[in-house]
Amino acid sequence: MIKRIFLFVAVNLLVIFAINLVIHIVGVEPYLTHRGMNYKALLTFCAIFGFVGSFISLQLSRFMAKHAMGVVLIDPKAPGGTEEARLVETVSRICQRAGLSTLPEIGIYPSREVNAFATGPSAERSLVAVSAGLLSRMDSKAVEGVLAHEVSHIANGDMVTMTLLQGVANTFVMFGARVAVFAIDNFLRSRDDDGKGLGYFAQYMLIMLFETVLMLLAMIVIYSFSRRREFAADKGSAELAGRETMIHALESLRDYKDQVDHSHPGLATFKIHGGARGLVALLFSSHPPLEARIAALKNQEPLQRLTA
C-alpha cells in the first residue's frame, strides 16, 4: 500500500518538478517584481501550469492505459457466440440504457487480477477494459454489474472531473509552496545583517520539499472525492443493470479482494476494485471498502431501472 501511495504521488510530483526545472532554467517567474511577490500573477501562473499537465494526461489516458496494461481491443463486429461478442453486446446494451450514443473501445488486458477500468478524455473517446482474471473467475451476471459500473463512470464524466480536481490540487500545491518559501526568505532577509536570505539553490530545494508535503495532503482530498465517486458509480450500475446484479458483482469481487494489481497507480482511481486496510491506507485509497459499498446499495431507496 505504501508503495502504491508513493508511486502515485511521485507521478504527480514529477510533472510539477519538471515544470519547476523549466521555470528556473528559463528564468520565467512573472510573479516576482521589484516590489515583491504579485500573488494574483502567481496564482494565474500556477493555475496555467497546474492544469496543463493534468489535461495532457487526460488526453493521453486512453493511449497510455492500452500500452501500460497491454489491452487487446475487441472488434465490435466479433463473431457471435464468442466471449468477445458477449462483452460487446453487454456494453452496447448498457450504453443504450445510459444514453451514450458512442460505443467505447472495449478490451481485455492480460492480468490475474480480478478488476476492470474505464478511462478516456470524453464519452466519445473512452475505453472500457476488463482483466483476463475477472473473465475467468466471474459469472456473466457479475461481469454485467462490473461493466455497468464502468459505463457509469463514463456517463458521469468522472475522468474529466478527476482531471479538474487534480489541476486544482496542482495549482494550490505550486502556489502554497512558493508563498511559504517567499515568506521564509523575507523573514531571513529581515534578520540577516547582509539581507541575503535564502540562496537560489536553497529556495529551489525548499519549494520541492513543500510541494511534496502539500501534494500528500492534496491526495487525501482527491482520494476522498474518488471514494464518493465510486458510490455514485455503484448506484449508476444498479440503475443500469439492476441492484441485485451490482450487489452480486461486488460480492464476487470481495471473494478476490487480494487479486488487485497495484503496479499501475495512475489507473487505480479508474478501476472498480481498489482495496484498503487500516485508517492510513483508507485515507489514501481510491475506493471504499467493498463491505461499505455493498451495504450502501442494500440500504438505498428502491431504484428505477433504466430501459433502452
304 inside domain: no
Give pLDDT tens digits for 215-266. 889 989 998 998 999 999 999 999 999 999 999 999 998 887 665 555 555 5
308 inside domain: no
22 inside domain: yes
Q: Return the higher-pLDDT residue of 247 and 283.
A: 247
Name residues whose C-beta falls within 8 Å of residue 207's C-beta, 6 or more positions apart in sequence: 20, 177, 178, 181
257 inside domain: yes
From the candidates 84, 113, 144, 150, which is the catalytic residue? 150
Q: What angle do helix axes 290-299 and 243-254 make, rounded to 10 degrees?
A: 160
pLDDT of residue 13: 61
Q: What are the strands, taking DSSP E only, across 6-95?
A: 32-33, 36-37, 72-73
Q: Among 145, 126, 123, which residue's Cα sits nearest to residue 134?
A: 145
C-alpha 110: how far from its chain's center? 21
194 inside domain: yes
Residue 1: pLDDT above 60? no
Residue 128: pLDDT above 80? yes
Domain count, the chain: 1
Give pLDDT tens digits for 294-304. 999 998 655 54
Name residues whose C-beta falls within 8 Å of residue 147's C-beta, 6 or more positions apart in sequence: 87, 90, 91, 94, 116, 128, 130, 241
306 inside domain: no
> Catalytic site residue 89?
no
HSE (side-chain half, CA atoms, 13 Å) at 289: 10
Give pLDDT tens digits for 46-79. 888 888 878 888 888 898 888 888 999 999 887 7
218 inside domain: yes
From CA 224, how far away is CA 165, in angstroms rounded?
Answer: 11
Range of the domain at 139: 1-299
pLDDT of residue 126: 95
Return the SS3 of 121: strand
Give pLDDT tens digits for 143-189. 999 999 999 999 999 999 998 999 999 999 989 999 998 888 888 87
From CA 52, how far away is CA 66, in angstroms rounded?
Answer: 22
